[in-house]
Amino acid sequence: MNIRYLFAALLLVLISTPAVAQLSINEIMASNSTVIADNAGEYDDWIEIYNAGNVSINLAGLYLTDDPDNLTKWQIPSTSSAQTTINANGYLIIWLDNDSEQGAHHVEFKLSAGGEHIALVNTDGTTVLDSISFGEQTTDISFGRKTDGTGSFAFLNPTPNAMNEGNEVAEVSDAPSFSLETGFYSGTVTVGLSASGSAEIRYETGGSIPTPNSPLYSSPISLDTSTVIRAIAI
Could you tell me which residues are beta bridge partners of residue 131? 119
Look at residue 18 in the predicted model and tell me its pLDDT: 54
What is the structure's pLDDT at 1? 42
Bridge partners (DSSP) of residue 119 are: 65, 131
Burial (CB count <10 Å: 0-12, 13-18, 19+), residue 202: buried
| Model pLDDT for residues 24-45, shown as the tens digit of each residue | 999 999 999 999 999 999 999 9
Question: Quick one: 113 exposed, middle or buried, by C-beta within 10 A (0-12, 13-18, 19+)?
Answer: middle
Local confidence pLDDT in tens for the 234 residues of the chain: 444 434 454 444 444 445 888 999 999 999 999 999 999 999 999 999 999 999 999 999 999 999 989 999 999 999 999 999 999 999 999 999 999 999 999 999 999 998 999 999 999 999 999 999 888 898 899 999 999 999 889 899 999 999 999 888 865 556 778 888 766 677 788 888 888 777 788 888 877 767 777 889 999 988 888 777 878 777
Predicted pLDDT of residue 40:
94
pLDDT given for residue 229 in this prediction: 83
Pairing of strands 63-65, 57-58: unpaired
Q: Supply the pLDDT for residue 11.
A: 43
**Dihedral, CA of residue 170, residue 65, residue 63 and residue 134, to nearest 10:** 10
Q: Is 39 left (phi over 0), alpha (psi -120 to 50) or beta?
A: alpha
Please give the pLDDT value at position 189.
Answer: 83
Q: Alpha-carbon distance 151 to 86, whole Å?
A: 21
